[in-house]
Amino acid sequence: MRISALGLLLLATNLFAADTVPRTGEPAPDFTLPSQDGSKISLHDFKGKWVVLYFYPKDGTTGCTIEAHNFQRDLARYEQNRAVIVGVSVDSTNSHQEFCAKQGLTFKLLADTEKAVSRQYGSLTNLLGYKISSRNTFLVNPEGRIAQSWIGVSPPHHSEEVLVALGRLKR
């Protein structure tokens, strides 16, 4: 099999581009992943709604629990704004199921065990030799475009930051 120099250049460009963060105004990369209840969830399922797509490192850790609790606490406010919360980590569906049950979470947590979606959103990092999702959030508008992003989120007040942005962008 012969691969041209142009073919190699295009392949290399795609590989590196997969690790870059989608920019504001760009289409949000679509995906399909299993949720904590085993159902398959795709980003395009939420067309016509705002989506808070947040990536987090690990179920049950302090920062991830704080962030999830705050999204759960504010869920009614998101719903009033026609927004859904979707969390993504590289943890398994079983881990997500246990985390949701223990913490009383009712929104979808998606299992990116292959790490493809975290990579697609520039949200995959190496921590002590393990690949985990970075703490990043993307607000996707009802047309499926990135409306705003937060990279390296601080959990305690993040939900409020997203709600403020959502209110501003909906005008």
Instruction: Catalytic residue, from 28, 51, 52, 64: name it.
Output: 64
φ, ψ (nearest 5 deg) of residue 14:
-65, -40
Confidence of residue 104 (pLDDT cuts 50, 70, 90): very high
Superfamily name and number for 24-169: Glutaredoxin (3.40.30.10)
109-124: b or e for each residue (b if 16 or more CB lie within 10 Å)?
bbbbeeeebbbbbbbb
Active site (annotated) includes residue 100? no
pLDDT at 3 over 60: no
Structure confidence by residue, pLDDT tens digits, 53-80: 999 999 999 999 999 999 999 999 999 9
CA distances from residue 75 to 6, 82, 90 in whole angstroms, order as listed: 48, 11, 23
Residue type for position 157? H
What CA dihedral angle connects 110, 58, 165 and 84, to 10 degrees? 20
Structure confidence by residue, pLDDT tens digits, 110-121: 999 999 999 999
Structure confidence by residue, pLDDT tens digits, 112-166: 999 999 999 999 999 888 999 999 999 999 999 999 999 999 999 999 999 999 9
